[in-house]
Structure 1
Amino acid sequence: MAQEKLDSIKGKDNPIVFGDFLVGYSNTGKTAITVGLNLNYQLKNDLYTFRTSETTSIDKIDWFLFIPISIVSNTTTEYALLYGKRHVEDGLAYHFSGGISYNINEDVNGKIKTKDTFAGFPLEIGMSFFKPRKERFRIFYGLIPVGKPTSFGRSFGFKLYANIAKKSYVGLGLTFGLGWHKIYENEK
């Protein structure tokens, strides 16, 4: 009888919390590079995300020998809150999200800088791959296993992202993440 009570005690499942780093190509009307960071929390199939990113296009650089003396560029910095749905299947997850963002746009033309702010509607659709079951965490590019099997791990994936705003853009990028990507149901 005492054994039955011990067997029926359920352990606590891990939360689904993870961060992603994004590097991507964007089109703002010009060619641009985007880098960003997402912090995510999932409850059931609901995904809550804080996203920050910076999209930069460089139109012209004037050089003196190897020193840039004049740069014409545009940079948009985004801070966004998104809500969406995320579905997990073994070592694969896909999601779609939308929300609201605060954007800071800065145009640089030599020594002349102009700055404006505006709201936007960020969107993203993504897919990520991660370990399907608990494994020991690996360091040095996955070569050396450390510790006991854990639900904490790495991920990589693809993301299509956009912001519909005064200065809209759309992009495609690679994501690299760390965190707890799914509930591992008390695996040992």
Structure 2
Amino acid sequence: MLKNKLLFFFLLMFFSSIKAQEKQDSLKVKTNTIVFIDLNVRYSFGVTNGLSGGLSLNYQVKKNLLKFRFFETSRIENVDVIFGIIPTNIDQKLTREYSLLYGKRFIKNDLAYHFAGGISYSNYKKTKQDVVVTEYNFVGFPLEFGIHWFHSKKERYRVLFGLIPVGKPTSFGRAQGLKLYVNLAKRSYIGLGITIGLGWHKKY
């Protein structure tokens, strides 16, 4: 009789532990990877004063952020136009930057802020009447500080300027933000701009 009770108790404990493990496993939900693209528009001061456009690819693990970014800053000082639409004889200053950065990114609900630094390779070119008169390359140390806003939970993706929701709730979405850029180099510059992101901005 005692053996039967012990056996029953052992089996009860065994199946209870299995059931608890199954319940715990069912609570484990796969989450998305944090990866997104930013489209950036900024105004820069320094080696080339002017409007910049660019993009960056971002990947985050825990609080660690790895980023590759490209920027092009252009300032047109003079241009002739023929037939009213075709530009020619352009006087221009142009800077292109390619950077690899590492930093920290912190997320709270629908907000994330980050800071990062790294190394950059830049090309500066000055043209007069479409002829290159000055060109050089330089290495720098870029810094970046930014803040993003995005959806705090999964939502249906919206098309037509965000007016029409389609599909099921998803972790893929848009973000908006502000960024401060600095590049410390032989030809340093600084810029402030806005950014529009697309991708997975947090774990949902």
**TM-score normalized by the length of structure 1:** 0.91
| Residue equivalent to 2:102 | 83
- Work out the CA distance in 2 between the residues paired with 1:69 and 1:183: 50
Deviation beyond 4 Å, 4+ runs, structure 1: none
- Work out the CA distance in 2 between the residues paired with 1:165 and 1:109: 25
- Work out the CA distance in 1 between the residues paired with 2:68 and 2:38: 11
TM-aligned CA deviation for residue 167 of structure 1:
2.0
Which ranges of structure 1 fall in alignment gaps of 5 or more residues? none
- Work out the CA distance in 2 between the residues paired with 1:149 and 1:158: 26
Q: Percent same amino acid among aligned pairs? A: 50
Q: Would you say how many aligned residue pairs link Structure 1 and Structure 2?
A: 184
Counterpart residue identity of residue 173, structure 2? G
- 1:62-101 per-position Cα deviation (integer Å, ceiling 9, x unaligned): 3456243322111111111001111111001111111001
Q: Which of the residues 109, 121, 129 maps onto 2:141?
A: 121
| Residue equivalent to 1:62 | 80
Moved more, 3-12 or 48-57: 3-12
- Work out the CA distance in 1 between the residues paired with 2:38 and 2:75: 22
| Residue equivalent to 1:31 | 49
| Residue equivalent to 1:180 | 200
Counterpart residue identity of residue 72, structure 1? D
Counterpart residue identity of residue 112, structure 1? V
Counterpart residue identity of residue 40, structure 2? L
| Residue equivalent to 1:158 | 178
TM-aligned CA deviation for residue 7 of structure 1:
2.5
Corresponding residue SS for 2:22: helix
Moved more, 143-152 or 174-183: 143-152
Q: 1:5-154 alignment to 2 at 5 Å?
A: 5-9=21-25, 10-28=28-46, 31-64=49-82, 66=84, 67-113=86-132, 114-154=134-174
- 1:104-146 per-position Cα deviation (integer Å, ceiling 9, x unaligned): 1111111321322111111111011000011111111111111
**Residues 112 and 14 from structure 1, CA distance in 2 versus in 1: closer, same or farther, beyond 3 angstroms?**
same
Moved more, 63-72 or 123-132: 63-72
- Work out the CA distance in 2 between the residues paired with 1:29 and 1:47: 28
Counterpart residue identity of residue 55, structure 1? T
| Residue equivalent to 2:7 | none
* Bigger radius of gyration among the two: 2
- Work out the CA distance in 2 between the residues paired with 1:54 and 1:48: 20
TM-aligned CA deviation for residue 59 of structure 1:
1.8
CA contact (8 A) 2:100 2:120 kept: yes
Which ranges of structure 2 fall in alignment gaps of 5 or more residues? 1-15
TM-aligned CA deviation for residue 147 of structure 1:
1.4
TM-aligned CA deviation for residue 166 of structure 1:
2.3
CA contact (8 A) 2:50 2:74 kept: yes
TM-aligned CA deviation for residue 30 of structure 1:
5.4
Counterpart residue identity of residue 18, structure 1? F
**TM-score normalized by the length of structure 2:** 0.84
